[in-house]
Structures are given as structure tokens and as C-alpha cells.
Amino acid sequence: MVLYLDLIIIKEFIMDFILLITTVSVLKKKTSSYLIIISSLIGVLETILDILINFSIPIRWIIKIIVSILMIKIIYKTKDLKEFAKEIFVFYIVSFIYAGITISLMFSRSLNEFLNTGSMIGKYSSWIIILSILLSIILIKITFKLISKNIRKDNMICNLEICIDKKILNLKVLLDTGNLLKDPILGFPVVIVEKSILRDILESTNIKRKIYLIPYETLGSKNKVLFGIKPEYIRLSTNNNYVIKDVILGLYDGKLSKCNSYKGLVRH
């Protein structure tokens, strides 16, 4: 069997470069192109050593782990152990997805040979590399987008305690960085809550309360007004559990969450 070292080097460099670029894209952390190139060359060196020296399987895996750690360390000089572990984890996930798709394509091409002989010899051709890269990038992007979206939303939902006329109401709210509403006169922050949540409390009291008018804009519509009331206080249950007294509750007529996972929006 003839091995063309120059072709192996080129293919390995392209694969490592794509893996690192995809990892950088998923992590959304800046680095320089020349560091990615240097890191890719380290991966190529490991492949060449693996071809030239007949390492045992345990030693081979140890070398691969050390090299992969070195590759990530080159592009990200992260000192925080937890953050570095995250970078390594993402790199391995990206690598496993790419390897899985590549092996699947090789297997589908060599299926008849495998069924006839019981062995599979996949030809690592250029079209397999290109197709594997395209499919891997699509799958990786979708996977990490869904995971990060769910994690981010779960971490930003917390409990809110509202006190109105000495009556307590508890609900789930979403910490929303986009909620910049303030009362135009007092300057108090506005917590948006579904009006239906407060209906029972408001109807059960005869106390006349001041109604606040809060102007706001949404995409495609301008000059809208949100009706608001002032509670005695709200208590937000986060890591820094704290009480806010100077706040306005903006009463929203519709649903804030399609799946009812939260009933209010709090400025974060």
C-alpha cells in the first residue's frame, strides 16, 4: 500500500484547520488566524509521527489527547481551568461529529465490500472530506444553537415575589436585557407582567390606586401605551436575592411566553 505523505499532510491540515475554525465559531471567542494555522500544523505533526512510528494503542491515545490540549492552548491562552475545559469539550464534540459523519460516508460507499468480505477499507477521497465538512458544520451549528438557547433561557428564568396591598403573588419571570422601559416621570424601572396574573388581586381590593401610563415602541408599531401600577415591593430570587421598592408593574394584555414558562419580564 502506497502512502503519499504530501497528500496526507494537506488533507490533515485542512481537516484540523476546519475543526479549529468551527470550534472558534461555536465558542464565539476571538483569536488570530496565524495561531489557528500553527495549531493545525501541530495536528499534522502528530499524524506524521503516528504514521512513521508504530505506537501502541494506549500511547497513541495519550499522544492524541496531549496534542489536542496543546492545539486549543495555542489558539486560546486561557488561564481559567473551567473555561479551558469548556474549550476542550467543544473541540472534542466538533471532532466526534465530523469523524462520525466521515466514517458514515466511507461506510456507505464501502457497504457492498463490507457485506461481501466482512471488512471495510474506506477511500478517504476529496469528495468525502468536502461533504463531511459541509454536513458537520450544519449539524454542529444547529446542535450548539439549540443547546445554548435552552441553557441561556433556563438560567435567566427566576422567581419573582410581588407585594400589592399586603397580598403576595409569586410568579416566574425572565431576566430580559432588552427590557429598558422606565416610567417617564418618576424614572422607575418597569417590570412587565401579564395582566391576567394580577386580576384577582386588583379586583379583590377597593383601594383606589394611581395608574401610570408608560409609552413604548415595538417592532413595526410606535406610540403605544402600557398601563402600570406601583406595588409595595418586588423580591427577585436570583443568586443575589434582593428587594426593589421603587418599581412600576406594566400590565401586558397578552401572553409573554408561548409555552407559559414565565409570566413577566424583568430588566437584567
Q: Are residues 215 and 104 in the same domain?
A: no
Domain total in the chain: 2
State the pLDDT at residue 21.
86
Q: Are both 165 and 84 inside the same structural domain?
A: no
Q: Are residues 66 and 9 in the same domain?
A: yes
Instruction: Give the pLDDT of residue 38.
Output: 92
**Could you list the residue range(s) of the whole structural domain that residue 234 is in?**
156-267
Asked if 160 and 150 sit in the same domain, the reply is no
* Contact assessment for residue 59 and residue 75, using Cβ atoms and an 8 Å cutoff: no
Contact 256, 196 (CB under 8 A): no
78 in the same domain as 68 = yes
CB–CB of 243/139 below 8 Å?
no
pLDDT at 150: 54
**pTM metric for this prediction:** 0.50
Residue 187: phi, psi to the nearest 5?
80, 10
Q: Which of 154, 172, 207 is the last residue of a domain?
A: 154
Domain co-membership, 163 together with 259: yes
Continuous segment of H or E residues that includes residue 14:
helix 5-27
* CA–CA distances in Å: residue 144 to residues 36, 140, 149, 166: 21, 6, 8, 45
CB contact set of 244 (below 8 Å; sequence gap of 6+): 189, 233, 234, 235, 236
Task: Please give the Cα distance from 207 to 175 (Å, whole number).
Answer: 30
- Nearest CA-CA partner of 69 in 82, 46, 87, 94: 87
137 and 166 part of one domain: no
Task: Decide which of 137, 154, 171 is a domain's last residue.
Answer: 154
Are 14 and 136 found together in one domain?
Answer: yes
Claim to verify: residue 138 and residue 234 sit in the same structural domain:
no
Of 5, 92, 120, 113, which Cα lies nearest the Cα of 51? Answer: 5
| Domain boundary residue, one of 106, 121, 154 | 154
Q: Report pLDDT digits (tens) over 208-228.
A: 677 888 887 765 566 788 888
Give the pLDDT of residue 121: 45
- Looking at the fold, whether 69 and 162 belong to one and the same domain comes out as no
Point out the residues of the chain with pLDDT beneath 70: 1-5, 106-129, 144-155, 177-179, 205-208, 218-222, 238-241, 268
